[in-house]
Amino acid sequence: MKRFSPLLIVVVVILGILFLRPRWYLNLTKNVEVSPASGATLVDKYNCRQCHQIEGRGALKAPSLDGVVARLDGATLRLWLESPRKVKANTAMPNFYLSDSEIDAIIEYLITLKEE
């Protein structure tokens, strides 16, 4: 039986972390301040308006996010941001691999939006 080189094992583990992006890794590398302002910055960073209408601006390829906190409960909204395909298997929404603090910040921002 062949033994695997320790270097090979380290390389496989590192590649697994980079490609699978486990939650603990995301939380370690993508920590942000939880506030409506940082949430608004993240909405711009991830280009959410390319598909969603937010504050009356953006596309209508996906549901408007104005007033979304009144339409969805917190757990469902969090799951949409964490892993969209766990909510709807055939969704066009990509998984942005958001950290917990990024999700919290985006939700804080979405809370400030009124239904248009």
The predicted model gives 25-32 an average pLDDT of 82
The predicted model gives 68-75 an average pLDDT of 93
Q: Which residues of 10-46 are buried (b: 16+ CB within 10 A; e: fewer)?
A: eeeeeeeeeeeeeeeebeeebebebebebbbbbbeee
Residues 107 and 74: beta-carbon distance below 8 Å: yes
The predicted model gives 91-105 an average pLDDT of 95
Give the domains, in start order, of the chain with CATH numbers.
23-111 (1.10.760.10)
Q: What is the pLDDT of residue 29?
A: 80
pLDDT in tens, 44-70: 999 999 999 999 999 999 999 999 999
pLDDT in tens, 1-25: 567 687 777 777 777 766 677 888 7
Which of 72, 81, 80, 73 lies closest to 99, judged by CA? 81
Lookup: tokens for 83: 């892993």
Kind and range of the H or E run holding 29: helix 23-29
Beta strands in 28-91 (DSSP E): 53-54, 57-58
Q: What is the pLDDT of residue 34?
A: 95
